[in-house]
Structure 1
Amino acid sequence: MELTKFLAVMAAVLPVAYGAPVEAANQLHPEILAAMKRDLGLDAEQATARVARELAATDVIENARRSTGDDFAGAWVARDGAAIHVAITNEARAAEVEAAGATPVFVRNSLTKLEQAKLALDGIDIDQVQTLDSTAEAVGVAAYFVDVASNKLVIEALPGSVAHAEGLAAQVGLADGEFEVVTVQEMPTTLALIRGGDPYYINRSARCSVGFAVTTGFVSAGHCGTSGSSATTSAGAALGTFSGSVFPGSADMSYIRAASGSTYTNAIAGASARITGSTVTAVGGSICRSGSTTGVFCGSVRALGATVNYAEGRVTGLTQTNVCAEPGDSGGSFYSGAQAQGVTSGGSGNCNSGGTTYFQPVNEILSTYGLTLVRS
């Protein structure tokens, strides 16, 4: 199968439109609308209106951030996408937030302090305590991130590591009220799958999903393959070779340079839809994911810049969502409306009971490898 047709199949559930943000929101693909109805309870009119509001919120938040300076403590959109909240540590800045078009929320902890604490955690070798006692509580620190809505650093830990997590918070200088330990029941895992099926295969064994087409190939997750690994269709036809890959560490990203003579498109099968850009959606914004195992599922952004502890090692700079995913969805597209957001990294749970999924922001992939999204 030529890459053009392959990527069209992979992009069959990507958002539509090539044009202005409002135009893009009004042309959401039927499969995206169906997923937003199923996962977010929104009809077509509500879904398109929400996406348009969230695209506009990006500029509002940036204007508020610039005007409030060091007093800016983060921002998020409301659960229904109707309001934009901007946290500030100085109530005197409230008028500037309102002038920018957002609702001010006064908080105690500065964003700088919380982000510096998270950065300090990134520099600690977090020992995942092991036990041979089968009756003991499960242990492990799963992930941590700054939750701007709660104005705290959140550390997710298995039941047996709550005290460990609290000690880590104290180690990086956080006091009560500046952090929260949330108990989770399982550690996150990457989502590659060794079994037969479509989309693309790495060295003709592990299966992952295409993220987004770029002018010289496509991008996906770093844990899917290493530099030099081959990417093929299920029939063994060459799609390209991994030209760059980072995992674990500072990212979970890869760039697959396509085979000679291939053409590239983000066209949706049976339509003339396009991804129009890669504007980052805010915390609380709606987001959807396409993967080769489960198709399209939607949810919301929960946190930016999360650190996740996989079995293979720690990965920083991921975005946390409440969208589900399953093995084989790795590398697949995350998007808000017509704006590319990132590629699926990993998480926990499944699409029957729900789950948490992290993605690697696409803009970092594009800038790292000097790539350009396909827009035609």
Structure 2
Amino acid sequence: MELTRFLTFLAAVLPLAYGAPSPVANSLHPEILAAMKRDLGLNAKQATARVAREVAAAGVIEQLRSSTGDAFAGAWVAEDGTTINVAVTNQALAADVTNAGATPVIVANSLSKLEEAKKALDNQDISQAKTLATSSTDSGIAAYYVDVAANKLVLEALPGSTAHAEALAAQVGLVASEFEVKTVETMPTTFASVRGGDAYLINRAARCSVGFGVTTGFVSAGHCGTVGSTATTSSGASLGTFSGSVFPGNADMSYIRTVSGTTFTGTINGYGSGDLPVSGSTASAVGSSICRSGSTSGVHCGTVRALSATVNYAEGRVTGLTQTSVCAEPGDSGGSYYTGAQAQGVTSGGSGDCTVGGTTFFQPVNEILSTYGLTLVRS
């Protein structure tokens, strides 16, 4: 089976200017347009316009992050994709935000304050002592992250751990108005499986999805394999060996160095709708539309919910993941997330499935590239 069937990339090139899409933007691949229509209720014109605006929004947000300094409290794109909201703690900076093309939101907590509290949690043992009143099946802290729109640190906990989550927030110096505990029914899991399919196999057994091609191989999720593990096609042809892998800990990422003679074209299997190109890796803001492609469930879309989330898998805690509303299923692990033509990351894990919907997390691709000194293959 050709390697191009395993590479997961993005849709067509979009304009950089914030505003109406150029004719180039209208070349979003039909498979992606269909997924955005199904999952976000957008027609082709709305989808291409939204993606164009979101790509440009990233530049506006970075500009304001720098100019507002310690007063910066986060940013997000409105649900309809038409407005960039930038939160600041200083009313005097509202005009600067407006002049940059964004909508100012005045809040109490800076992003740095909430992120410092989250980092303090990352350095703590957050396991909960078991009691007769708290069984192992209904207790656990699933994830925690900064919700920039709410201007709070959010802790997701099973029903038996809500009080424990509140205590943890207090331990890192947060008062009631600075955090929120959300109850979830299940703990997140990774999406690897041992079933065969149109993907790559690790040690000829477990199955994952290729994320993005780099000039010397491809990247995927760290939980898919450890350093030295082999990667093959489902038919047994050698792809290469895991040269780097992190999981759990501060990432869920891996780099597979491929065998000599392997060629990466910058395209992927479009699941019956042709190949999809990639043009860059500009990170999307909270609220942006985002799509995911994986070997089990194909292409699905949703929105970015939170950045730099910490997730607690059975194997251990992982920091620095991005939370989304996109569904995924076993075998999708390692597959690509993208906004328009911009690579975002590789599938880590989550909960739910593509029948009932779910919450998923991905490892940002730019961290993988910088960690291993890799160059993304572009069309």
Residues 31 and 271 of structure 1: CA distance in aligned 2, closer, same or farther (over 3 Å)? closer
Do residues 17 (structure 1) and 12 (structure 2) align?
Answer: yes
Partner in structure 2 of residue 261 of structure 1: 261
Residues 91 and 310 of structure 1: CA distance in aligned 2, closer, same or farther (over 3 Å)? same
Do residues 355 (structure 1) and 358 (structure 2) align?
Answer: yes
Q: 1:133 deviation in Å? A: 7.2
Alignment of 1:274-353 (within 5 A): 274-353=277-356
Mapped partners of 1:289, 1:117: distance in 2: 30
Residues 330-339 or 14-23, more deviating: 14-23
- State the AA in 2 paired with 1:236: G
Q: Is the 8 A contact 1:191 1:346 kept in 2?
A: yes
| CA-to-aligned-CA distance 1:220-274 (integer Å, 9 cap, x gap) | 0000000000000111110111000000001000000011111112224575642
Mapped partners of 2:218, 2:132: distance in 1: 43
Between the aligned residues of both structures, percent identity stands at 71
Residues 287 and 106 of structure 1: CA distance in aligned 2, closer, same or farther (over 3 Å)? same
Mapped partners of 2:13, 2:107: distance in 1: 39
Partner in structure 2 of residue 72 of structure 1: 72
Q: Is the 8 A contact 1:129 1:139 kept in 2?
A: no
Q: Is the 8 A contact 1:289 1:297 kept in 2?
A: yes
Mapped partners of 1:136, 1:204: distance in 2: 34
Mapped partners of 1:131, 1:300: distance in 2: 38
Q: 1:131 deviation in Å? A: 5.7
Mapped partners of 1:268, 1:197: distance in 2: 16
Do residues 151 (structure 1) and 151 (structure 2) align?
Answer: yes
Q: Is the 8 A contact 2:128 2:164 kept in 1?
A: no
Q: Is the 8 A contact 1:18 1:375 kept in 2?
A: no
Q: Is the 8 A contact 1:137 1:159 kept in 2?
A: no
Q: 1:363 deviation in Å? A: 0.2
Mapped partners of 1:274, 1:176: distance in 2: 46
Mapped partners of 2:296, 2:163: distance in 1: 37
Mapped partners of 1:172, 1:271: distance in 2: 50
Partner in structure 2 of residue 226 of structure 1: 226
Mapped partners of 2:167, 2:133: distance in 1: 23
- State the AA in 1 paired with 2:307: L
Give unpaired runs (5+ residues) of structure 2. Answer: none
Mapped partners of 2:243, 2:136: distance in 1: 44
Q: Is the 8 A contact 2:143 2:155 kept in 1?
A: yes
* TM-score normalized with structure 2 length: 0.94
Residues 238 and 11 of structure 1: CA distance in aligned 2, closer, same or farther (over 3 Å)? closer
Instruction: Report the RMSD for the aligned CA atoms in angstroms.
Output: 1.7
Alignment of 1:102-113 (within 5 A): 102-113=102-113
Mapped partners of 1:152, 1:27: distance in 2: 39
Mapped partners of 1:229, 1:312: distance in 2: 18
Residues 96 and 107 of structure 1: CA distance in aligned 2, closer, same or farther (over 3 Å)? same
Q: 1:91 deviation in Å? A: 0.7
Instruction: Name the SS for the 1:349 alignment partner.
Output: strand
| CA-to-aligned-CA distance 1:24-81 (integer Å, 9 cap, x gap) | 6322111100000000000000000000000110111112222211111100000010
Residues 194-203 or 45-54, more deviating: 194-203
Number of aligned pairs?
A: 371
Q: 1:153 deviation in Å? A: 0.1
Mapped partners of 1:174, 1:134: distance in 2: 25
| CA-to-aligned-CA distance 1:83-141 (integer Å, 9 cap, x gap) | 00000111111000001100000111111110100000000011144467797870000
| CA-to-aligned-CA distance 1:314-368 (integer Å, 9 cap, x gap) | 0000000011111000000000000000000000011111100000000000000
- State the AA in 2 paired with 1:362: V
| CA-to-aligned-CA distance 1:191-241 (integer Å, 9 cap, x gap) | 100122221000000000000011111000000000000000111110111
Mapped partners of 1:45, 1:132: distance in 2: 57
